[in-house]
Amino acid sequence: MALKLKLLLSLSATLFLMQTPANGATCSNCFVSSRASYYPNSTEQGTETGACGFGSFGAMINGGDVSAASNLYRSGVGCGACYQVRCTNSKYCSDKGVTVVVTDQGSGDNTDFILSQRAYGRMAQTSDAASNIYALGVVDIEYRRVSCSYPNHNITIKIDESSNNPYYLGFVIWYQQGDKDITAVELCETQNYVCKLLDRSYGAVWTTTSPPSGPLSLRMLLSGDDGDETWLVPVNNIPQDWKAGATYDTGVQIS
Ligand SMILES: *[C@@H]1O[C@H](CO)[C@@H](O)[C@H](O)[C@H]1NC(C)=O
Ligand SMILES: *[C@@H]1O[C@H](CO)[C@@H](O)[C@H](O)[C@H]1NC(C)=O
């Protein structure tokens, strides 16, 4: 009898231990209720002048399934994050919804997302249903953070047009996969490894006056929801003769 009880107790303790991490994992993955609207007078795609500073990437990436975020913009840290967004009216809306990339900041009538017109319509089951939700202007939604996916792309550095070698360097980071945030960026000289931490100038734009010289080795700090932090060091350097407007393939990608 005593033995049976002990066994039962240890069994339920084991079950309890097994359940705790599983519950935690499920809930960081839970849908959150909110509202979404769409850019009223945009073209189908997003905007090239979005607050993240992504330029053309911000308009057409992910087939134009992009969004402005309000609180989720997080002073620019949220730029490039991907969310699954689905409207909740079961008459019009699909279960799957749409996956969007945050490329802009904006808020409407208690909305977390202002979607591109294309992305908004893609939450609907059919094109008729899409007309119905466009007519509503704003809909109840559920959203959750998901991994971004850019098949056939490495993480790419796009040098800002306002950059001026060797005095001033600004860039944005395109095609970062996964569900982590880039929370710090460093440039290191490849000769003596003197490093310089960059400033987040606005949105996803990293800048420095008097950048280090020579070919530049980039480091990106990837931060997860769970507090995990990892420095990612690309295999390719930014060449010494980097040019305003140019793009450079880092040769790395994350999943
Ligand atoms: C809508 O049009 C106005 C006037 O042309 C413009 O200022 C505004 O930025 C546009 N908004 C969007 C979201 O495209
Ligand atoms: C990504 O980088 C690797 C080198 O690390 C390279 O072999 C590959 O071609 C690159 N992929 C693309 C799509 O450019």
What does the DSSP assignment read for 181-226? EEEEEEEEETTT--EEEPEEEETTEEEEESPPPSSEEEEEEEE-TT
Kindly state the percentage of the chain with pLDDT values over 70.
Answer: 89
- pLDDT-derived band at 26, boundaries 50, 70, 90: low
Nearest ligand atom owner, CA of 106: 1
What's the CATH number of domain 156-249, 3.40.50.1970, 2.60.40.760, 3.40.630.30, 3.40.50.12160? Answer: 2.60.40.760
From 218, 248, 249, the mutation candidate for ligand 2 (largest count of ligand atoms within 8 A of CB) is 249
**Residue written as tokens 């945050």?**
102
In this prediction, what percent of the chain has a pLDDT beyond 90?
A: 81
β 113-115/32-38 pair status: parallel
Give yes or no on whether 32-146 and 156-249 have one common fold: no
39: Cβ below 6 Å to ligand 1?
yes
pLDDT for 192 equals: 84
Is residue 120 classed as helix, strand or coil in its secondary structure?
helix
Q: Which helix (H) or strand (E) holds 38?
A: strand 32-38
**Residue 40 confidence (pLDDT):** 85
Tell me how far apart the alpha carbons of residues 248 and 177 are, in angstroms, rounded to a whole number: 17
Residue 230's beta-bridge partner residues? 222
Single-letter amino acid, residue 169: L
pLDDT in tens, 70-106: 999 999 999 999 999 999 999 999 999 999 999 999 9
Q: Which ligand is nearest to the CA of 108?
A: 1
* Position 219, amino acid: R
Tell me the sheet residues that pair with 65: none
Q: Report pLDDT for 255.
A: 85
Q: How high is the pLDDT of residue 94? A: 98
Q: Tell me which of 140 and 193 has the higher pLDDT.
A: 140
Rg (CA), the chain: 22
Mutation probe of ligand 1 site: the residue of 41, 103, 115, 117 with most atoms within 8 A of C-beta: 41
The pLDDT of residue 45: 81
Closest ligand 1 atom to the C-alpha of 39? 13
**Digit-coded pLDDT (tens) for 128-150:** 999 999 999 999 999 999 999 99
154 lines ligand 2 (CB under 6 A): yes
At residue 34, the pLDDT reads 98
Check pocket membership of 42 for ligand 1, CB cut-off 6 A: yes
Residue 15's pLDDT is what?
42
Ligand nearest to the CA of 175: 2
- Which class would CATH give 32-146? mainly beta
Per-residue confidence (pLDDT) for residue 127, from 0 to 100: 96
Select from 27, 32, 30, 39 the least CA-distant residue to 71: 32
Question: How many Å lie between the centroid of ligand 2 and the Cα of residue 105?
Answer: 31
- Residue spans per domain, the chain: 32-146, 156-249
